[in-house]
Amino acid sequence: MTEKIITRFAPSPTGLLHVGNIRTALFNYLFSLKFSGNFILRIDDTDTQRSKEEYTNQIIEDLNWLGVKVDKIFKQSERLEIYNKYFQDLIDKAFVYKCYETPDELDSKRKRLVARRMPPIYDRASLFLSEQEIKKYIDEGRKPYWRFKLSGKRSNFDDLVRGEVSVDTSAQSDPVIVREDGGFLYNLPSVIDDIDMGVTNIIRGEDHVTNSGIQIEMFEAIGKKPPTFGHHPLLVDENGEPFSKRNSAASIKGLKEKNFEPMAVNSLNISIGTSIEVNAFQSLEVISKELELSQLGRAPARFSMSQLFKLNSNILSRLDTEAVSERLNSIGAVMDEEIWEIIKSNINNLPEYKNWYNIVRGSIKVDDLDGDFMKLALDLLPPEPWGDDTWADWISKIKESSDRKGKDLFLPLRRAITGLNAGPELKKIILLIGYNKVKNRLLGN
């Protein structure tokens, strides 16, 4: 029997998820979908100072909005007993050791090494303390913190994205796993959860490659086979800068509030830097069939807002009337099918509809009209009834009577009639706006 695939996304609830974070979530979710597996959301909230319930709720809402279906949710803060059990086992087997240095002492050690151009690796001094020295520290009121003892060997693994990877654990400090206040740091609880939840595949950003090398030693210390890892290149913005939790413009919440279609966000996120062509996908199921982690590029993937607008526009133009009505209601607008049909291929984002609704059904004010040209256009404006040929007839008459053509001819008319420099075909728009309003707009009223 083949093993059931279990993946997980493990955000810390210390800020809003951004497009870079959800890239990791999507890779894991799509991988589980592709192999009919399960997808777990694990909230890494052991840092009680920085973790916030509101962010946890927002993460759940964001994933839901994107269409990522979570099979199970776990919070690390509710699993401390389990971590302590495994931790005790590591103590018993001497895979971990107590340390007594203060943060200041560690810092000066680090600085001394750096000054001598040596790698700032922890020297394991606490491993060699005598009983008296330890007693002295304890009497001084110092509380021990704990480190995991790395083997000093190379930790090798076959990465789903990068192929053969080798992490030299002798180039790393023994990781601190428990703070002096007894709180767990990231590495060990992550390994314990991955074991406990039967995670088979861990896909995450390439900033975690070294952690994976370290965690493999923890899996082995606990006596478990490590899962399969895959590290994807990180997402960067148009300027090549990484996304940050502090930049709310690229947050999923922000994109939702700007009325982007979730599948536009998903489609772009998953097609940049992968072998998947940029395309407005209908569903995550469809994307999952195309995803091949081994085909991911190695360069950082660039997320561009202009591409997002394009995909969004593409998806909007293909939505059925019911779906559009629903979305319009949610932004306080009313569906007008005539308007929608004409503008749907010309808008990047749903709120633009409101503007077009106003242009067609409401009133606008345009300044700086070219009075003489408007007067000429008005004189030649065909009388009602109007039909499909009205625009062409009108334009050819204006052309005959003026020396204008191209942009000089169309742009002033477009501006006068719609107030904008671009938009859907005027041939169609004028029929919706109607004779009286067009006349008034040419007059500047």
* Amino acid found at 75: K
The only residue of 5, 7, 11, 33 in contact with ligand GLU, by rule CB under 6 A: 11
Q: For ligand GLU, which stretch binds (CB under 6 A), given 8-16, 138-146, 231-239, 292-300?
A: 8-16
CB atoms within 10 A of CB 405: 11
Structural tokens at position 444: 């500047």
Give the nearer residue to ligand GLU in terms of CB position, either 10 or 68: 10
DSSP state of 226: -
Please provide the distance, in angstroms rounded to a whole number, between the alpha carbons at the two ends of the chain. Answer: 76
DSSP state of 26: H
Question: How far is the CA of 197 from the CAs of 29, 226, 363, in angstroms?
Answer: 16, 13, 60
Structural tokens at position 117: 């151009």
Q: For ligand GLU, which stretch binds (CB under 6 A), given 7-15, 228-236, 308-316, 382-390?
A: 7-15
Site string for ligand GLU, 273-302 (x = CB under 6 A): ------------------------------
88, exposed or middle or buried, with CB in 10 Å at 0-12, 13-18, 19+?
Answer: exposed
Minimum distance from CB of 67 to ligand GLU (Å)? 21
Minimum distance from CB of 76 to ligand GLU (Å)? 9
Residues of this chain, 162-201, that bind ligand GLU according to CB under 6 A: 190
Give the nearer residue to ligand GLU in terms of CB position, either 247 or 348: 247
Q: For ligand GLU, which stretch binds (CB under 6 A), given 4-12, 270-278, 326-334, 337-345?
A: 4-12
Q: Is 206 in the site for ligand GLU (CB under 6 A)?
A: no
Give the nearer residue to ligand GLU in terms of CB position, either 232 or 437: 232
Residues of this chain, 31-50, that bind ligand GLU according to CB under 6 A: 44
Give the nearer residue to ligand GLU in terms of CB position, either 165 or 324: 165
Give the nearer residue to ligand GLU in terms of CB position, either 185 or 409: 185
Residue 148: its H or E element? strand 145-148
Residue 330: its H or E element? helix 321-330
Minimum distance from CB of 33 to ligand GLU (Å)? 18
What's CA 201's distance to the chain center, in Å?
A: 20
| Residue 197 near residue 74, CB atoms below 8 Å | yes
Q: Is 58 in the site for ligand GLU (CB under 6 A)?
A: no
Give the nearer residue to ligand GLU in terms of CB position, either 186 or 394: 186
Given strand 201-205, what is the order of strands in its sheet? 72-75, 38-43, 6-9, 201-205, 228-232
Strands (E) in 225-300, as ranges, are 228-232, 235-236
Minimum distance from CB of 28 to ligand GLU (Å)? 9
Q: Is 12 in the site for ligand GLU (CB under 6 A)?
A: yes
Q: Is 204 in the site for ligand GLU (CB under 6 A)?
A: yes
Minimum distance from CB of 168 to ligand GLU (Å)? 20
Give the nearer residue to ligand GLU in terms of CB position, either 192 or 311: 192
Q: What is the DSSP string of 350-407?
A: THHHHHHHHHHHS--------HHHHHHHHHHPPPSSP-TTHHHHHHHHHHHHSS--HH
Sign of CA dihedral 156, 159, 163, 165: negative
Q: For ligand GLU, which stretch binds (CB under 6 A), given 9-17, 55-63, 291-299, 334-342?
A: 9-17
Give the nearer residue to ligand GLU in terms of CB position, either 22 or 350: 22
Binding residue count for ligand GLU, defined by CB under 6 A: 7
| Peptide bond connecting 385 to the previous residue in cis, omega within 30 degrees of 0 | yes
Minimum distance from CB of 44 to ligand GLU (Å)? 4
Q: What are phi and psi of 111, to 5 degrees?
A: -65, -40
Give the nearer residue to ligand GLU in terms of CB position, either 44 or 101: 44
Q: CB nearest ligand GLU: which residue?
A: 44
Minimum distance from CB of 285 to ligand GLU (Å)? 24
Given strand 145-148, what is the order of strands in its sheet? 96-99, 145-148, 176-178
Minimum distance from CB of 203 to ligand GLU (Å)? 8
Three-class DSSP labels, 190-207: HHHHHHHCCCCEEEEEHH
Minimum distance from CB of 271 to ligand GLU (Å)? 22
Q: Is 7 in the site for ligand GLU (CB under 6 A)?
A: no
| Residue 291 near residue 41, CB atoms below 8 Å | no
Contact footprint for ligand GLU (CB under 6 A): 10-12, 44, 190, 204, 208
